């Protein structure tokens, strides 16, 4: 199907005004297809031709203004509408539509735990025509009236309140919505287990498949409390009230994204309904997601982007609000520490690859929907949110919110772009927001700030010199820290410097009162988006006293600086690992612990260090994990640090002896019992080390026949260091029958590639580059992304793999959904080779 171009969308928006969609779905036609009848009323402003998008299994009939259209004219998902006169029109399209197993369109899932089936839509960006006929672009908004026929025992959910039709078993009718973009239309159907309540006159609901019912019930109070608190906080800061008639959150299986902001019916991945122990950081992440999706009810749903170049208007704002509102409204008050150590690293990495792009690209840089899809990345989310955090620091929160509320008032239930928002912020602030936006949102790349303390011999106070590489203005705090005189290693903060860095100056000088501090930390409190460096004396201080810093956000900023120095070849990976071993055992914030351990385990050990040093690195991580366990109780204390350490202990094991003992006793160090998640994690590591076989995996699956268990078994089978197991996994992944669902595809690849299996897997590396292009073209965008993200042969950090990948990337037929993530993986590989060469 050809991507919709911006020019085509502009032409159609000038020609059409859509009054209403009536969508009738029949979910009782078997396991392969469902019925879809769409009636759309629209007006043409002048005579002309256009098309409607629909991607059916079978197109039965299309009727325009009472006249049948030739179904044979449907080509590449487009049905031509020719010879339209100016005035009112009605189009009716009757079709059978295909169910999806890749999380796109109408996804169909049968729960292996109990055989029950669930359906949900994912119409995001250009997938609505897999569900109903549509003028599928964001600026042709219209009300939707949706009706559904389903098995009688099912429940149906929609954007508006769904009610059973009296006297018609299995028939449901959803309340007509306000004007929506087509990509927001949502239906979820199945024998859901639901928890319902009402808040502020709005019905709230939580929904999950039956096999997770007890886990939802255990978490419902927390989920609803977060939902209520965020809802109330948004009503405190936004003038516009919640614009829809209900707020349902459906936790759905095999979901590709974290969540989707469908108005009135948010869909979230059902891994957020925890069936095993989790850390406080994981609970906080779930809370941020809830707050993020609720922010979209205003940023994206009430006011929608006009075209996909402005996706940041949706995602950057929701990302910023998710972290800010959760911190303001709930007990999760340290959200920005997690943002600093985890999300900003995602943004920084994306912004240094060849595929980087501005937060808000120029309109011509996003010519079609295929290119737009690639911009849902760390730049549109994390960098954009970091830029907004800087904007709030510059304007002040009160002024920022005044501009946002003006934006909502002017464009409610309509569409807007960057210029519209800038105008609102300018009116509210009286400042030149357009110049700020040009510097921050229209440019790509990461600025770097590096300090030097200059002293002279005259006795005058030292001067702080900041070298600024980049062209953005920054408002930052500079932390100045002195070692306590009591020998405790505590770093005592002075009054921070508040500094404005001009956009075009490459060097800034500021006096420092008092003697030379032991640590100078640029961007303390993490208010701007920029890489920072540590001068030699400051690095020496943190190398010995990092755990003496009093604030977790400050420690996260230091760890980010060290991480960036490693990635840029300025700090040996071993020095980072040694610093982690020395200071992480005293860390109390789990977000910091998890972020540092993840980087050390999966980047340093597996890629940045040469293979001969990998085992020693894993042993260091094992020692570190044991030290964390000694310092942290297992009964929930430490905010999840204990659980994070246990996971690291399992993932870093180099021999199976301890793992076997824990498996046999059912207990991990510190007395932590093996729950579902830890059991599959442990079995996976045993499989990688060749210490279990297919019979052990079968027995584990029999004990846990859930969807997560099925994925765990697929992961473990692919991880066995056996030629037949690898061949079977490869066949399942690349066979043209394409039977693996999106989640089983991902799980199989997660088990397949391991550094421990280098000799066994070396012949599969060229096969990956030979076969990946055809699979990506065949299975669609979501699977193409999984193919690069999970399928890339990361254990082979060598020039030969880089050369094979570059040859593949040069193929002009490569689909964009694979080309972009493949280029990113190759850039990461090249960076790892540079880091190895530098040290």
The whole-angstrom separation of Cα 596 and Cα 338 is 11
Question: Coil, helix or strand for 394?
Answer: helix
Enumerate the H helices of 430-535 as residue ranges. Answer: 433-440
- Give the DSSP letter of residue 382: I
8 A C-beta contact, residue 336 and residue 321: no
List, in sequence order, every beta strand (DSSP E) within 99-253.
Answer: 105-110, 117-122, 144-149, 155-158, 162-164, 171-174, 187-190, 193-199, 202-208, 247-252
Beta bridge partners of 146: 23
- Rounded to the nearest angstrom, the gap between the alpha carbon of residue 734 and the centroid of all alpha carbons in its chain is 26
The whole-angstrom separation of Cα 215 and Cα 433 is 47
- Give the DSSP letter of residue 231: H
Two tokens, residue 22 = 């009536």
C-alpha separations of 443 from 271, 304, 351, 368 in Å: 36, 23, 10, 20
List, in sequence order, every beta strand (DSSP E) within 723-794.
Answer: none
DSSP per-residue codes, 203-214: EEEEEE-GGGHH
C-alpha separations of 431 from 42, 387, 391 in Å: 42, 17, 11
Two tokens, residue 345 = 């690293």
Strand 78-84 and strand 48-53: the pairing is antiparallel
Count of H-run helices and E-run strands, the chain: 28, 31
Residue linked to tokens 């109070």: 221
Phi, psi of 784 (to 5 degrees): -65, -40
Residue linked to tokens 């998902």: 77
Residue linked to tokens 């729960």: 111
Two tokens, residue 246 = 């209900």
Q: Specify the long-range contacts of residues 75-81, CB closer than 8 Å, at least 24 apart.
A: 76/1, 76/2, 77/1, 77/2, 77/53, 77/129, 78/1, 78/2, 78/51, 78/52, 78/53, 79/51, 79/52, 79/53, 79/54, 79/133, 80/49, 80/51, 81/49, 81/50, 81/51, 81/52
Phi, psi of 202 (to 5 degrees): -110, 130
Specify the length of the chain in residues.
839
8 A C-beta contact, residue 757 and residue 718: no
8 A C-beta contact, residue 788 and residue 816: no
Question: Coil, helix or strand for 769?
Answer: helix
Residues near 473 by Cβ (< 8 Å), separated by ≥ 6? 394, 436, 439, 500, 501, 502, 503
293 catalytic? Reply is yes
The whole-angstrom separation of Cα 418 and Cα 193 is 41
Per-residue HEC secondary structure of 812-825 comes to CCCCHHHHHHHHHH
Q: In what order do the strands lie in the sheet with 507-511?
A: 507-511, 463-469, 448-454, 531-532
Phi, psi of 315 (to 5 degrees): -80, -40
Other Cβ atoms less than 10 A from the Cβ of 570: the count is 15
Question: Coil, helix or strand for 169?
Answer: coil
Residues near 396 by Cβ (< 8 Å), separated by ≥ 6? none
To the nearest 10°, report the CA torsion of 571, 577, 582, 584.
110
User: Of the residues 261, 271, 293, 711, which is catalytic?
Assistant: 293
Two tokens, residue 351 = 């912004």
- Rounded to the nearest angstrom, the gap between the alpha carbon of residue 132 and the centroid of all alpha carbons in its chain is 27
List the one residue out of 634, 641, 533, 545 whose CA is nearest residue 585.
Answer: 641
Two tokens, residue 211 = 């096999």
**What are the residue numbers of the active site?**
293
């Amino acid at each position: 199907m050809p991507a919709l171009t911006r020019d085509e969308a502009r032409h159609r928006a000038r020609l059409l005004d859509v009054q209403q969609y009536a969508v009738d779905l029949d979910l009782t036609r078997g396991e392969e297809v469902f019925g879809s009848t769409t009636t759309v009323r629209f007006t043409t402003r002048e005579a002309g031709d256009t098309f409607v998008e629909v991607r059916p299994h079978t197109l039965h009939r299309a009727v325009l203004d009472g006249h049948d259209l030739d179904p044979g004219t449907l080509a590449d998902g487009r049905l031509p509408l020719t010879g339209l006169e100016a005035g009112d029109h009605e189009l009716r399209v009757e079709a059978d539509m295909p169910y999806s197993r890749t999380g796109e369109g109408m996804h169909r899932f049968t729960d292996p735990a109990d055989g029950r089936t669930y359906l949900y839509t994912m119409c995001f960006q250009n997938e609505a025509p897999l569900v109903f006929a549509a003028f599928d672009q964001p600026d042709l908004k219209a009300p939707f009236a949706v009706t559904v026929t389903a098995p009688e025992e099912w429940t149906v959910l929609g954007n508006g309140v769904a009610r059973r039709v009296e006297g018609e078993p299995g028939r449901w009718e959803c309340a007509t919505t306000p004007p929506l973009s087509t990509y927001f239309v949502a239906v979820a159907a199945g024998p859901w287990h639901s928890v319902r309540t009402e808040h502020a006159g709005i019905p709230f609901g939580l929904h999950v498949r039956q096999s997770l019912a007890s886990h939802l019930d255990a978490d419902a109070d927390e989920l609803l409390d977060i939902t209520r608190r965020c809802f109330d906080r948004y009503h405190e800061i936004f003038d516009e009230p919640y614009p829809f008639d209900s707020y349902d959150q459906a936790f759905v299986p095999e979901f590709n994204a974290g969540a989707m902001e469908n108005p009135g019916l948010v869909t979230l991945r059902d891994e957020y309904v925890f069936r095993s122990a989790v850390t406080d950081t994981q609970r906080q992440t779930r809370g941020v997601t809830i707050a993020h999706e609720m922010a979209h009810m205003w940023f994206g749903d009430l006011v929608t982007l006009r075209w996909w170049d402005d996706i940041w208007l949706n995602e950057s704002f929701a990302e910023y609000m998710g972290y800010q509102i959760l911190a303001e409204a709930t007990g999760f008050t340290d959200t920005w520490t997690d943002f600093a150590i985890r999300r900003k690293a995602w943004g920084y990495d994306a912004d240094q690859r060849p595929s980087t792009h501005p937060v808000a690209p120029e309109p011509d840089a996003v010519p079609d929907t295929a290119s737009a899809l690639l911009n849902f990345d760390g730049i549109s989310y994390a960098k954009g949110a970091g830029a907004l955090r800087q904007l709030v620091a510059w304007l002040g929160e009160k002024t920022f919110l005044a501009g946002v509320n003006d934006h909502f008032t002017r464009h409610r239930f309509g569409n807007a772009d960057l210029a519209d928002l800038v105008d609102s912020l300018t009116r509210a602030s009286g400042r030149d927001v357009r110049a700020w936006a040009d510097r921050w949102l229209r440019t790509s790349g990461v600025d770097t700030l590096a300090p030097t303390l200059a002293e002279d011999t005259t006795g005058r106070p030292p001067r702080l010199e900041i070298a600024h590489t980049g062209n953005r203005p920054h408002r930052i705090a500079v932390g100045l820290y002195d070692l306590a005189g009591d020998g405790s290693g505590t770093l005592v903060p002075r009054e921070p410097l508040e500094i404005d860095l001009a956009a075009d100056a490459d060097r800034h000088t500021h006096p420092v009162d008092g003697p030379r501090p032991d640590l100078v930390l640029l961007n303390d409190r993490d208010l701007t988006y920029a890489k920072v460096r540590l001068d030699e004396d400051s690095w020496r201080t943190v190398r010995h006293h990092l755990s003496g810093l009093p604030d977790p956000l400050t420690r996260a900023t230091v760890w980010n600086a060290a991480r960036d120095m490693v990635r840029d070849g300025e700090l040996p990976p071993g020095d980072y690992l040694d610093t982690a071993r020395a200071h992480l055992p005293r860390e109390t914030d789990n977000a910091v612990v998890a972020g540092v351990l993840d980087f050390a385990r999966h980047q340093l050990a597996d890629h940045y260090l040469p293979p001969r040093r990998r085992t020693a690195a894993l042993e260091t991580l094992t020692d570190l994990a044991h030290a964390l366990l000694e310092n942290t109780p297992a009964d929930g204390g430490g905010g999840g640090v204990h659980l994070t350490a246990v996971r690291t202990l399992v993932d870093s094991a180099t021999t199976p002896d301890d793992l076997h003992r824990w498996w046999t006793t059912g207990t991990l160090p510190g007395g932590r019992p093996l729950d579902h998640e830890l059991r599959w994690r442990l079995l996976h590591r045993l499989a990688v080390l060749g210490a279990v076989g297919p019979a052990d995996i079968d027995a584990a699956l029999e004990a846990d026949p859930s969807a997560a268990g099925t994925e765990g078994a697929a992961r473990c089978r692919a991880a066995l260091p056996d030629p037949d197991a690898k061949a079977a996994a490869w066949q399942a992944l690349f066979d043209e029958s394409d039977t693996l669902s999106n989640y089983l595809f991902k799980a199989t690849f997660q088990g397949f590639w391991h550094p421990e299996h280098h000799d066994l897997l070396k012949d599969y590396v060229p096969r990956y580059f030979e076969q990946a292009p055809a699979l990506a073209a065949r299975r669609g965008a979501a699977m193409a992304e999984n193919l690069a993200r999970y399928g890339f042969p990361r254990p082979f950090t060598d020039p030969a793999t880089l050369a094979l990948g570059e040859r593949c990337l040069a193929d002009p037929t490569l689909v964009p959904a694979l080309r972009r993530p493949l280029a990113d993986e190759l850039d990461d590989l090249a960076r790892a080779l540079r880091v190895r060469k530098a040290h």
